[in-house]
Amino acid sequence: EVQLVESGGGLVQPGRSLRLSCAASGFTFDDYAMHWVRQAPGKGLEWVSGISWNSGSIGYADSVKGRFTISRDNAKNSLYLQMNSLRAEDTALYYCAKSVGISIEQQPFDYWGQGTLVTVSS
Amino acid sequence: SYVLTQPPSVSVAPGQTARITCGGNNIGSKSVHWYQQKPGQAPVLVVYDDSDRPSGIPERFSGSNSGNTATLTISRVEAGDEADYYCQVWDSSSDPWVFGGGTKLTVL
């Protein structure tokens, strides 16, 4: 059974940093691209970042480019999101999602975690 | 960046057919994916590549895509289909993965 379990969320002040993690199990992690998608309270889905199976291709939404860094450790079956210079508008539930293939392009997301909540507030 | 437009809400009686649209410039040239999100739950992929269904998704869910509009069709709607539905495309631009704003399906 595919499982994606996010952790690392919490309350953080504006301008500070936070690192999210996603522990994957039930599939061969290094065979698939992975993504982070967020959802602000009461709002829709927003793609944040994606990373290919071997970290060779990485993409970011304009809203987080230069502040967030995605990475993965295939040996640990884990995905990460380093979030720096956090803003109030980064407040959201952050989902880890698995792609159906190795590329961050074109291919949909077939499994999602339950999310970890990030609240940016003073 | 590319924009996807969905109606905020769609209402349908049980047993009827629900159609949820997703508008975008020449969206027919792109592959559209659809997700269902029930309250308090993570999204679930229900249709991918315009009209394919993942395993475990009922045949009642189908999709089409042409011109400037993609459509998710849910036949014989059930109370359990009540959820938010999001369309998604890949666009080779600054924000490559784009979601529509979501449509709340209400089963009357």
Rounded Cα–Cα distance for residues A43 and B93 (Å): 23
B94/chain A closest Cα distance in angstroms:
7
Which one of B4, B97, B104 would you mutate to disrupt binding with A, by most A Cβ within 10 Å of its Cβ? B97
Residues recorded for chain B: 108
For B85, phi then psi, to 5°, come to: -120, 135
Rounded Cα–Cα distance for residues A113 and A95 (Å): 6
Provide the token pair at B36: 């269902």
Cβ contact, residue pair B33, A108, below 8 Å = yes
Per-residue confidence in pLDDT tens, chain B, 108 aa:
899 999 999 999 999 999 999 999 999 999 999 999 999 999 999 999 999 999 999 999 999 999 999 999 999 999 999 999 999 999 987 788 999 999 999 999
What tens digit of pLDDT does each residue of A18-58 get? 999 999 999 999 999 999 999 999 999 999 999 999 999 99
B103/chain A closest Cα distance in angstroms:
9
Largest CA distance in chain A: 40
